[in-house]
Structure formats: structure tokens, C-alpha cells
């Protein structure tokens, strides 16, 4: 196979690529990966020759692969009528939609009526995996996308998975969006604050009404304070929001900008 004959040359090329790249053969065995992948996902152990199902659950490479699969709507190969339902199948009831890597499973192989390359199930999964999926891993935003190498003469399917760190791009976009929103909100907010003050000063001397106006004005001033912080954001920091979702930490981002300004003075 050309891949094996040129492995050293390919490895040298991959190590000069900034994105993480991982090659998986038709049995789900990791054949090659680059230094960028190890650095990006903080992987210290050697992965070459390991089967993806045998990686520890906490291994970031395994997490990246299978978390990208979770959005697949199915059906999975073990849900097809031709599957005998062998509980020993590594893909049964899992989130892995890569049916062709189960070729070593007897219940899968004995029920195949066509090669994996020609199978409609594979084509459906391929279209799904070729679309980038964004994951939150190690406090980073990682885009995961697959491409495929089909060896028709051998009936084998190899997968190339690319992990791209899009954290800086995402935070830059978030910062620009926040800045634009702050600019658009400032003027109407200032008008609203002024109107509340004017209405309060000319309203009947009712304690309840005055208190309500005071609460609304305080809320407007708080919003204006947030807008001021957004305008001072020069370094972006994020914080956990829910589950694996992180959002822009306006407070810490604004504070880091203030510290930078103090040091420059």
C-alpha cells in the first residue's frame, strides 16, 4: 500500500501542519498522527497501533472522535434488520457511527450483502462526518472534520480526521460581535436612563412609584457598566456556562485590559 511505503515522508509533512491530523484504518486502528494533535489535546502516550475502542474513556482523542459522532441521527449499523444483535459488537449501543470499523465483528461481517464502500449506510455516515463539528475540549474550541480514502481493490476505508483549534477565531468573532452590540445599545440606553430620571422627577410623590423608577434606573446603569467593560475588552477570556459550553467572561476580560493599561502607565 502506498501509505505504508511513504509513511516516513508523510509523517514529516504532517509534523509541519498546525492542525492535528489522525489516520484510522478500516479496523479503527490508529496508523499515524502528528505532533500538533498531541500538543492540542495534551496527549502524552503513543497512540500508533491502538484501536479507537480500546482507548481509555478519558483519552481526549477517543472523546474527540466519539463526541463528534453524537450528532448522527442514525440509523446505526446495529439498528439494521440484518444485524443479529451480537452484544459483543463494539459498536452496539455506542455513539460510534463508523460501521465499517466493525468488520472484525462476526455478526456484522456475516450479514453484509455488499462491500462497505458501496453501502448506503457508509455513504450516509460519510456525508455526516465530512461536515465540521465544533467541540469544547481542554478549554479550547476544536473543530473536528473527517475525509476518507477508499481502496476499492481491497474494499478498505481509511479515515483522516483533522482537529483544528478555532479558539482564537471564535473569541475574536465573539469580541467583535460584543463590541458592535455595545455600540448599538449605548445610545438608546442613555436615552432610557435620562427619560426615567425626568419621569421620576415629575411623577407624583408616591414612594412605591419612586422606588420602581429607582430600580429601573439602577438596572440601566448596570447595563451601561457592562457596555463600558465590553468597550475595554482587549484580551478575551471565557468561563463555563452550562455543560461543555463556554462564553465570553466580560468581567475578567475587562479586568485584564485594565491591568495591561496600568502596567503601560
6-to-10, 134, 244 alpha-carbon distances in Å? 6, 31, 39
Q: Which domains does the chain have, with CATH numbers?
A: 2-165 (3.30.450.20), 169-264 (1.10.287)
d(CA 206, CA 143): 58
What is the average per-residue pLDDT within 225-253?
65
d(CA 158, CA 177): 40
The pLDDT score that the predictor gives to residue 257 is 47
d(CA 178, CA 39): 30
Q: pLDDT-based confidence at 146, cuts 50/70/90? A: very high
Q: Is 203 helix (H, G, I), strand (E, B) or coil?
A: coil
What is the average per-residue pLDDT within 92-110?
66
Q: What is the mean pLDDT of the chain?
A: 76
Weakest-pLDDT range from 128-142, 163-177, 247-261: 247-261
The pLDDT score that the predictor gives to residue 259 is 42
In the chain, what is the straight-line distance between the N-terminal and C-terminal CA atoms, in Å?
63
d(CA 144, CA 31): 18
Please compute Rg for the chain using Cα positions: 27
Q: pLDDT-based confidence at 199, cuts 50/70/90? A: confident
Residue 51, all three cell numbers: 484501536
Q: pLDDT-based confidence at 75, cuts 50/70/90? A: confident
Half-sphere exposure of 175 (CA within 13 A, CB side): 16
Beta bridge partners of 144: 133, 163
Percent of the chain with pLDDT over 90: 14
Residue 131 pLDDT > 50: yes
Residue 35, all three cell numbers: 505532533
pTM for the predicted model, two decimal places: 0.64
The pLDDT score that the predictor gives to residue 50 is 92
d(CA 197, CA 200): 5
Cell 489535546: give the residue.
41
What is the average per-residue pLDDT within 36-63?
88
d(CA 116, CA 121): 8
Amino acid at each position: 500500500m502506498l501509505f505504508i511505503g511513504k509513511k516516513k515522508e508523510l509523517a514529516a509533512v504532517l509534523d509541519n501542519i498546525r492542525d492535528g491530523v489522525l489516520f484510522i484504518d478500516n479496523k479503527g486502528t490508529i496508523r499515524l498522527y502528528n505532533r500538533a494533535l498531541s500538543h492540542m489535546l495534551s496527549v502524552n502516550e503513543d497512540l500508533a497501533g491502538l484501536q479507537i475502542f480500546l482507548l481509555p474513556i478519558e483519552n481526549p482523542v477517543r472523546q474527540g472522535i466519539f463526541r463528534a459522532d453524537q450528532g448522527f441521527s442514525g440509523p446505526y449499523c446495529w439498528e439494521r434488520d440484518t444485524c443479529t444483535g451480537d452484544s459483543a459488537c463494539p459498536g452496539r449501543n455506542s455513539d460510534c457511527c463508523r460501521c465499517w470499523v466493525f468488520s472484525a465483528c462476526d455478526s456484522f461481517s456475516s450479514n453484509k450483502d455488499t462491500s462497505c464502500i458501496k453501502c448506503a449506510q457508509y455513504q450516509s455516515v460519510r456525508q455526516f462526518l465530512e461536515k465540521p463539528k465544533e467541540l469544547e475540549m481542554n478549554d479550547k474550541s476544536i473543530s473536528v472534520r473527517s475525509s476518507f480514502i477508499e481502496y476499492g481493490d481491497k474494499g478498505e476505508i481509511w479515515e483522516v480526521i483533522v482537529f483544528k483549534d478555532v479558539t482564537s477565531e471564535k473569541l475574536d468573532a465573539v469580541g467583535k460581535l460584543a463590541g458592535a452590540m455595545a455600540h448599538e445599545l449605548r445610545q438608546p440606553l442613555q436615552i432610557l436612563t435620562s427619560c426615567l430620571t425626568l419621569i421620576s422627577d415629575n411623577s407624583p410623590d408616591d414612594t412605591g412609584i419612586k422606588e420602581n423608577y429607582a430600580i429601573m434606573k439602577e438596572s440601566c446603569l448596570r447595563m451601561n457598566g457592562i457596555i463600558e467593560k465590553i468597550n475595554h475588552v482587549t484580551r478575551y477570556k471565557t468561563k463555563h456556562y452550562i455543560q461543555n459550553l463556554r462564553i465570553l467572561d466580560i468581567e475578567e476580560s475587562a479586568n485584564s485590559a485594565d491591568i495591561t493599561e496600568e502596567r503601560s502607565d
